[in-house]
Amino acid sequence: MITLICHGDSLTEGADLDRGFTWPALTGASLGIRTVNRGIGGDTSAGLLARFHPEVIQEAPEFVLILCGTNDLWWGLPANAILANVFAMSYQAQYARITPILATPLPFHAEIARAAEITPPADGFDECGAALLRYVGELKAAADRSEIPRIDLYTPFLDNAGAVRGDLFLEDGLHANRAGHRVVAETVVNRLRSDFMISG
């Protein structure tokens, strides 16, 4: 059976959701493949890189989907540091004959997050949101230059006017709710079917 390891932070782990409702579980059920959820809440791209060998390379899956960056940007870390970590993981995967797939982070809903009175980003909500959008563009461009498959998880969370959809988030404005995880799963499933001929 094909194995997909989903390597990430709380956006993969599924904050406040039962594991069966997270996008990795939904993806596996839809495609009939084995999915492994390696999301850890609060983790950064450096943390993902540190645990990449034992949690991904040694497991020898066919695919690894890497989703991270929001926590780095939340603490004001530069995009080039995130990209360095993400591509280090990608090249390690390729060396081990594992297909890496890079996913862009989801947006967050700043108004909901402000109302939730959570700890704000180091540079403020507006700058963090702008930095996230810039990073999404940089990740897409770098992935295309390196010919590494990528999945856009940012755009599906926007409405027709380009605003972030509040109905897809938990009350913190940061993490996808059940509906949001279904959106992620549908996006991932469609890409795996179209690009890698995985069907189920």
CB 200 within 8 A of CB 30: yes
- Taken in order of first residue, the domains within the chain and their CATH numbers are 3-196 (3.40.50.1110)
- 15-37 per-position pLDDT tens digit: 888 989 999 999 999 999 999 99
In this predicted model, what pLDDT tens digit does every residue of 38-90 receive, in sequence order?
999 999 999 999 999 999 999 999 999 999 999 999 999 999 999 999 999 99
Exposed, middle or buried by CB within 10 Å (0-12, 13-18, 19+), for 197?
exposed
